[in-house]
Amino acid sequence: MTKGMLTVLGKKGGKKPHEELGLSVEDLKRLYETMVRVRVFDEKMIKLQRSGRIGFYVPALGQEACHIGAAFALDDSDWIFPHYRDPGIPLLRGITIQEMVHQLYGNAADNTKGRQMPNHFSYKDINFVSISSPLATQIIQAAGAAYAAKIKKDGKVVLTSFGDGSTSEGDFHAGMNLAGVHALPIVFLCENNQWAISVPVSLQTGSESFAIKAQAYGFDGVKVDGNDILAVYKAAKESVEKARSGRGPTLIEAVTYRMGPHSTSDDPTRYTPEGELEAWKKKDPIERFKEYLRQVKVWDEEWENELRTTIAKEVDDAVKKAEATDPPAPDTLFEDVFAELPAQLLAQKDEMKRLIDEYGMPEGH
């Protein structure tokens, strides 16, 4: 168990922190660009939901450093079992904003064919397993995948992310126990954003931290400043290397803050204490990283303005294209489950076609 909270940004003396971590200037730019891309994407999607153009969205405001820093430590072939506040991970792995916007609209270009809730991304080609709403289901699935990787000896590592509220679910404990017993190649990332919807951390656990819970399952836990992307990367890099070398799992607790609503169905002003948000805004992970990049002469205002303008146009263009795309074809209701449709489904498909031919498609389809 690592004592205290790991922090990198703001430390004095020695080599530049990113050089000590083996990160190049291009790496720094990619990390920052992805954080800004998520922030701009979030702002636009919330506006779309508020105006009734998409049905639902889960923002990552304030938590960009947690999932982006952790995912950057992985190989592209490693597996990710995420929770619903990690949009930067698919962006890091080459998924476009256009693809993600199609999913939010559930249209014909959505790779899940409109079957998932908005914000429940799933990308087989990059080993990004489908997001689901029920808490902690991904944790036990991730442990199972890590068990398979160990049996196959394929050298892959599994990362699973979740919020502090998920630590109260049975699947968290089952997944941790399985990983500890079998020394599985898995990294557990707890994004402790202080609130499980309206339940504060003080009512979530009696432990002194979430990281300490790893001790009960026989492996290491580390508590890290979740608004310090270099600290998150450092903790994840060490944990991934440990897992890949056969030395078992690690639980990382990234201490951060959800600076927006839990989802677009939530109003945090009804339960968060006055002044709490303002205090955490001073620790904004993007602003902290920007200051570091300025100090090491990577960031300047011209680059920032160009970056935000480019991303804003990318998002706007993606929305226009998504809104001009038709809904999924009715026949897609019968695809992707059976290699050959059984008789009862063939009959239902024929009946659906007859009804559409007779009455037309429902309004709004």
What would the pLDDT profile of 60-88 be if each residue is shown by its tens digit? 999 999 999 999 999 999 999 999 999 99
Strands 199-200 and 220-225: unpaired
Structure tokens at 330: 């009715």
Closest by CA position to 109, among listed 123, 99, 118, 119: 99
- Would you call 102 a catalytic residue per the annotation? no
Is the pLDDT at 364 greater than 70? The verdict is no
Query: How far apart are the C-alpha atoms of 299 and 292, rounded to whole Å?
Result: 8
From 37, 39, 262, 288, active-site residue:
262
Is the pLDDT at 322 greater than 70? The verdict is yes
Phi-psi region of 253 (alpha: psi -120 to 50; beta: other; left: phi over 0): beta
From 217, 258, 288, 292, active-site residue:
258
- Would you call 365 a catalytic residue per the annotation? no
Q: What is the mean pLDDT of residues 218-239?
A: 98
Closest by CA position to 276, among listed 333, 351, 193, 153: 193
Fold (topology level) of 17-327:
Rossmann fold (3.40.50)
User: How many Cα neighbours within 13 Å face the side chain of 225?
Assistant: 19
Q: What is the mean pLDDT of residues 259-270?
A: 96
Query: How far apart are the C-alpha atoms of 91 and 93, rounded to whole Å?
Result: 5
Backbone angles phi, psi at 291, to 5 degrees: -60, -40
Is the pLDDT at 130 greater than 80? The verdict is yes
Helical ranges in the chain per DSSP H: 17-20, 25-50, 64-71, 88-92, 97-105, 137-152, 170-182, 229-244, 276-281, 285-295, 301-323, 343-359
- Domain residue ranges of the chain, discontinuous segments joined by +: 17-327, 329-365
Over its C-alpha atoms, the chain yields an Rg (Å, rounded) of 22
* pLDDT tens readout for residues 41-52: 999 999 999 999
Q: What is the mean pLDDT of the chain?
A: 96
3-state secondary structure of 333: helix
CA distances 117 to 104, 198, 357, Å, are 8, 22, 29
**pLDDT-based confidence at 10, cuts 50/70/90?**
confident
pTM of the model: 0.96
Contacts with 171 (C-beta within 8 Å, 6 or more apart), sequence order: 135, 136, 137, 139, 140
Q: What is the mean pLDDT of residues 272-293?
A: 97
Q: Is the dihedral of CA 27, 30, 33, 37 positive or negative?
A: negative
Query: How far apart are the C-alpha atoms of 255 and 278, rounded to whole Å?
Result: 17
Closest by CA position to 106, among listed 44, 51, 56, 141: 56
From 271, 294, 354, 365, active-site residue:
271
